[in-house]
Structure 1
C-alpha cells in the first residue's frame, strides 16, 4: 500500500504552529480527525501519547513518525505535518523534528502497520527528499512530492 493511497491531502499541515511534542500530536490528530470523521480527537491523542511514553517516535534526521493503534478503525490512516522551526521531540539524534507522519492502525493490524512505518522511514531516509519537503510551498506541493518520491522507492 502506497503512502499517497492512505494520506488524504486535506490531512496535511504545511506549517505546524506547535512548539512542543504534545502540541504536535494535538495538531496532527486534529488534521486526521477532520478527514476521518469517525475518529475521536481525544482518543487519537491519548493513543499517541501512550505510544510516546514507551519511547520517542522521533527517528532522527528531523523526522518523527508518531503512531498508534485504535479499536475504532478498520484501515490505516495518515496525516502529515511540517514545522519550519522544528520541535524538540526526544529524537534519537537529539535534534528537533520538522517532518511528521502520523500513522493510525486498527488494533489487530500488525503486518500492514509495520510495512507502512518502514515505507515512510525509507521515503524520508533520503536527505534530498527531506529537503524537497522542507522547501515545498503548500499542502498540495507536499502531497505531490510525497507521491513523486514514493514512485522512486
Structure 2
C-alpha cells in the first residue's frame, strides 16, 4: 500500500484560515464529497464522533483524524495544509497545521490500521513535514506526499 493509492490529487488543499476543529471537519467533509462522492454530513458526523473518543492530534503540528463510513469500498485520504495553525487538543498541546484524514469502510479492519501506520510513518519524517510547510500549491503537496513512497518502493 502506498499513499498514492489512498490520496487523490484533488483531495489535497492548502487553507488560509480555519477557525475551529468543527470548521476543519466541515472542510474535510466537503472535500470528501467533491473528490470521492462521500456524503459530507456523514463524513463530518463520523469525524466528530471519532474525535469524541480522544483527540487525533498526534503532536509536532500533525493531526490524523479518521473514521469508518458505511457504503465506501476502500480507504481514502484527504490532506489539508493550514496556513494558520489551529488548536487541536494535540498530545503535545501544540497547534496543528498538517492534517491527513483517513476515511475507511466500516469493515476495513487491518487496511484501516495499515493506512494509519503508513500516514503516521510518512509524517514522522521531519524533512517531509518541512517541505509540506514550505509549499502551498496543492499539486506540489500531493507530489511531496506520494513521491516518497514511490521512491522507497523502487
TM-score, normalising length: structure 1: 0.95
1:24: how far off?
0.9
1:28: how far off?
1.3
The 5 Å alignment of 1:82-97 reads 82-97=81-96
- The residue number in structure 2 matching 1:146 is 145
In the TM superposition, structure 1's runs of 4+ consecutive aligned residues that sit over 6 Å from their partners are none
Structure 2 residues without counterparts, runs of 5 or longer = none
Residues 16 and 81, structure 1, Cα contact 8 Å, conserved in 2: no
1:140: how far off?
0.3
- 2: CA distance between counterparts of 1:49 and 1:131? 28
- The residue number in structure 1 matching 2:75 is 76
Residues 16 and 27, structure 1, Cα contact 8 Å, conserved in 2: no
User: Size of the alignment, in residue pairs?
Assistant: 152
Structure 1 residues without counterparts, runs of 5 or longer = none
Per-residue CA deviation, residues 76-134 of structure 1 (Å, 9 max, x unaligned), is: 11111011211100100000011001100000111010000001000010111111001
Residues 29 and 39, structure 2, Cα contact 8 Å, conserved in 1: no
Residues 21 and 87, structure 1, Cα contact 8 Å, conserved in 2: yes
Indicate the RMSD between aligned Cα atoms, in angstroms. 1.2
1:16: how far off?
4.8
1:15: how far off?
2.0
